[in-house]
Structure 1
Amino acid sequence: MPPSALAQPRRSIAAESGPVVPFPAERRTAHVRRCAGELDGLQGEDARLYWMKVCRELAEELRRLGTSENQARAAVFAFQDEVQQELSRMHPAEDF
């Protein structure tokens, strides 16, 4: 290895490639289904507390990855919509 190669500091791949763009939360199918399944088995205050915990954890994860507050909020809302749709698929309305 040439001596000049040893003298150069290593560059960060993140610095060269730009900001990290997280995978859309609403497309995390396994997470959506797991949350819907958990919520389906809970009621009242237990369901509310679980749901708040999941949404806060998701928002925090997105903020750690560098998303803005508005982007994190929009992603959590999209995730909430997907979980609601999954719950609806789990309990389809009966035809009359």
Structure 2
Amino acid sequence: MSLLAFPADRRTSDIRRCANALLQLHGEEANRFWRSEMAGFAAALKEQGMDEDEISRQAALFMHAIQMELQLAFAEEELNASA
């Protein structure tokens, strides 16, 4: 296992950037964005010498963090709508 200076689920600016983009995109455009982000993510980790298992683990952490950010955004939207 490689040591990461910034594990994927701690990269808050990237997480928020992706979540905000996904809130604005729909359908195939959102799919293209996500596939491109994950391909770049995996390529950068591979370039750093990370093995496939750790890349998969980091990708899962990153996806989970983005899902949590999206859930937070939806919860805030619902709260604001009911106020």
Q: Give TM class, smaller chain.
A: 0.7 to 0.9
Cα offset, 1:84, TM superposition: 0.6
Q: What is the match of residue 21 of structure 1? A: 3
TM-score by length of 1: 0.74
1:58 aligns with 2:41: yes
Letter in 2 for 1:54: E
Identity of aligned residues (%): 33
Letter in 1 for 2:68: Q
C-alpha distance after superposition, 1:38-91 (max 9, x if no partner): 000000000011001101111111111111011001101110000010000001
Q: 2:32 aligns with which of 49, 58, 68?
A: 49
CA RMSD in angstroms comes to: 2.0
Report how many residues are paired.
78
Structure 1: state its 5+ residue gaps: 1-19
Structure 2: state its 5+ residue gaps: none
Give distance in 1, aligned partners of 2:61 and 2:8.
7
Cα offset, 1:21, TM superposition: 2.5
Bigger helix fraction: 2
Cα offset, 1:26, TM superposition: 1.1
TM-score by length of 2: 0.85
Q: What is the match of residue 90 of structure 1? A: 73
1:80 aligns with 2:63: yes
Q: Report SS of the residue matched to 2:68.
A: helix
